[in-house]
Structure 1
Amino acid sequence: MGGGEITKRGKGLVVLAVKTFPEDAVKETLAEIKEEFPDLEFHYIWPKFEVKKNDMPDSDESEIPNIKFIQFVSAGTNHVSKHPIYTDTKIPLCNASGVHGPQIAEWVVMTDLIHNHNYLYLYEKQRKKEWKHSNGEISSQDNVGRTVGILGYGSIGRQVARVAKAMGMKVLAYTASPRKTPESKRDTGFIVPGTGDAEGEFPDAWYSGLDKKSLHAFLKLKIDLLVLAVPLTPQTTHFLSTPEFALLAANPTRTYIANIARGAIIDQPALVHALHAGQIAGAALDVTDPEPLPKDDPLWDAPNVLITPHVSGVTSTTGERCFQVVRENLRRVRDGRGLVNEVDRGRGY
């Protein structure tokens, strides 16, 4: 979105292009924005066709003068990291970090519970109309005392931690850089009220590093549920591959992996091998490499894997929350404050 000065009295222009949800899906927050910024002119564009991931206009700053910021509806911006708007301009880019935390955390917990309580087995019994219950036939486990390791302690990881703590789990956080002070542990991005971990209070321990030595030290810990929530960057591409799965294999309770980040965080052929070899307990994947996952990909038939088509962040409230970020950034531009969720181009997120 861009346009003229956004002031308390000045006339401005906001152009909104949204591929995921129609205007009716965001009408409440959009109405609030229009009420708060009555001098802004809105053009809501909802393309009713599939937008490919690299379909952004080849525009520069001269073609859209005085642009204030571009707001993405995704938490990641790796899909446009090679686009001229990203590489050749200084236009502020803002992601939707924080918007997807509640629903994705629920997806993580849901798939972990499906695994722990053998629900797929029980569902097959239901489909066959079989009432079978005998001690020792199936083995279930609750989450009390288990450990969740969260690779990438952003808004999603923080909400996973909140829910995990409520279930009696131990939380281990892992970030790119050390977080040794209270200030460094705070979440300064957009937060859905009543969710997340604004002060960084939930982790029982905090680890960090983008180097393999640091990652391997983390993976050697007894982690029951490993949640991948890191952004996709050159440093995190194939963050988990053959050596990492070999380390996880040493865990006597076997680690269950949930990937809600990007498919390329995992070396997929190595994952397929780890599943067949029993190096890990299983995997829940909302992302794959590539997407869509081809029908003949061996990942489909790997044992103990749950696959969903990149939908964990999509709910009926997603659109409204995205426009709550827009509203906050409009306020910040008007008031001369820094933007929320602004992408650091150097870091890639």
Structure 2
Amino acid sequence: MSASESAGGEITSLGNDVLLAFIPLAENPEWTEKLAKKFKGLQIRWVKSITPEHTIVKPDDLPAETWDGVTLLYTFLPPRIELIPKVRFVQLTSAGADKWPGHPKYQDESVVFCTSNGSHAPQIAEWVIGAWLSHEHGFRRYAENMKTAHWESPFASNARDSTAQRVGILGYGAIGRQCARLASALGMEIYAYTRSERSSPKSRKDDSYCVPGTGDPDGLLPSKWFHGAAREAVNDFLAQDLDLLIISLPLTEETRHIISHEQLALLGKKKAFVANIARGGHINQDALIQALESGQIRGAALDVTDPEPLPADHPLWKAPNLLLTPHVSWKTDSLGKRLLDILEQNLEKLATGQPLINVVNRKLHY
């Protein structure tokens, strides 16, 4: 752990606060020094939440003095309430807050929670479109051929380009919007699904953190919008002859197993490809395995499973036409800069009484 305390600075309203950055990044001394100068009196502590062996550091693993007096917290995992009695602001490194419901601090409406939604969108969208293109052009087949030095006849396999294929994006937030941007560049038709209706141009705008030059800030890319919380509304969306379904919505009790036997049957009309980069609980995995084994859908790509890590004997490992990665789509060397940028923006807004970005809706948990 390292600590820094300002002797100067421009903003004084955080002068009695202690910030703990408990995040999967090594400390950035330049950023820490800049923050200390900007916020007079703010004490900054930084603990990397990943060990040299690439395992997660739990909140209880930290020395008690690390938590002493902390009022501002940047974290992913929820610490016990006994460790953070004075915390009044929580910035999450994740795009959702599904780890926090039930926590006393989360239930305290006076404590502000914000996510890092938007910081993960560019890299996750690339993972999605990369998996899609790999499947449509048979890259995995050719990778296997390389192992045996087999030069396959170019007439022995088929490939499909993306032009005029239809992508349905289930959850049109920051990640979904960047997926739409990339898919649009490939000539795909975009259908968007949101929980609430987005009937006006104003309602279709994105108010979350956005990396410049990315996403769909004004909501102009979808040719058709769908909405609703009921399964009937979701089914109507899935019945739109989709070639690619991207699952990019938060996990709540409402969205758990939002894709199951009935929904996969609807996607079977065009033998859609299913990409899930949200949470493993969105898909009934037994139903997905059946759909893959029977050829009901053309393939799938999962960066998330239920549970995680996925047991070695789980049948998903052997499902055909499936790409499975260990929850890594969020990773990029650029993430650290974005996470610190969101935190700095929100600290300044908190200090000056401005509306914060990515404030969590406590009912929807995102």
Alpha-carbon spacing, 1:194–1:68, altered in 2? closer, same or farther (3 Å): farther
Deviations 1:184-222 (A, max 9, x none): 101111111111111111111110111111111111111
How does 1:3-18 map onto structure 2 within 5 Å?
Answer: 8-10=11-13, 11-18=15-22
- Computed over aligned residues only, the root mean square deviation of the Cα atoms, in angstroms, reads 2.0
Matched, 1:71 2:77: no
Give the secondary structure class of the aligned counterpart of 1:133.
coil
Deviations 1:108-163 (A, max 9, x none): 0100011001001111111212222332x011111111111000000000000111
How does 1:1-349 map onto structure 2 within 5 Å?
Answer: 8-10=11-13, 11-24=15-28, 27=29, 29-47=31-49, 48=51, 50-51=56-57, 56-59=79-82, 63-64=85-86, 67-88=87-108, 90-135=110-155, 137-251=156-270, 254-349=271-366
| 2:10 and 2:40 in contact (8 A); partners too | no
Instruction: Give 5+ residue unaligned stretches, structure 2.
Output: 1-8, 59-75
Amino acid in the other structure paired with 1:260: I
Give the secondary structure class of the aligned counterpart of 1:78.
coil
TM-score using structure 2 length? 0.87
Give the secondary structure class of the aligned counterpart of 2:249.
coil
Amino acid in the other structure paired with 1:129: A
Which stretch shifts more, 153-162 or 313-322? Answer: 313-322
Residue 34 of structure 1, CA deviation = 3.7
Task: Determine the C-alpha separation between the residues in 2 that align with 1:30 and 1:321.
Answer: 15
Residue 29 of structure 1, CA deviation = 4.4
Task: Determine the C-alpha separation between the residues in 2 that align with 1:148 and 1:280.
Answer: 14
Residue 45 of structure 1, CA deviation = 1.9
| 2:180 and 2:221 in contact (8 A); partners too | yes
Give the secondary structure class of the aligned counterpart of 2:168.
strand
Q: How many residues align?
A: 337
Task: Determine the C-alpha separation between the residues in 1 that align with 2:30 and 2:215.
Answer: 24
Task: Determine the C-alpha separation between the residues in 1 that align with 2:266 and 2:244.
Answer: 14
> 1:3: which partner in 2?
none
Task: Determine the C-alpha separation between the residues in 2 that align with 1:28 and 1:288.
Answer: 37
Give the secondary structure class of the aligned counterpart of 1:79.
coil
Task: Determine the C-alpha separation between the residues in 2 that align with 1:309 and 1:284.
Answer: 11
> 2:62: which partner in 1?
none
Task: Determine the C-alpha separation between the residues in 1 that align with 2:77 and 2:88.
Answer: 22
Amino acid in the other structure paired with 2:344: R
Task: Determine the C-alpha separation between the residues in 1 that align with 2:176 and 2:265.
Answer: 24
TM-score using structure 1 length? 0.91
Alpha-carbon spacing, 1:29–1:129, altered in 2? closer, same or farther (3 Å): farther
| 1:152 and 1:173 in contact (8 A); partners too | yes
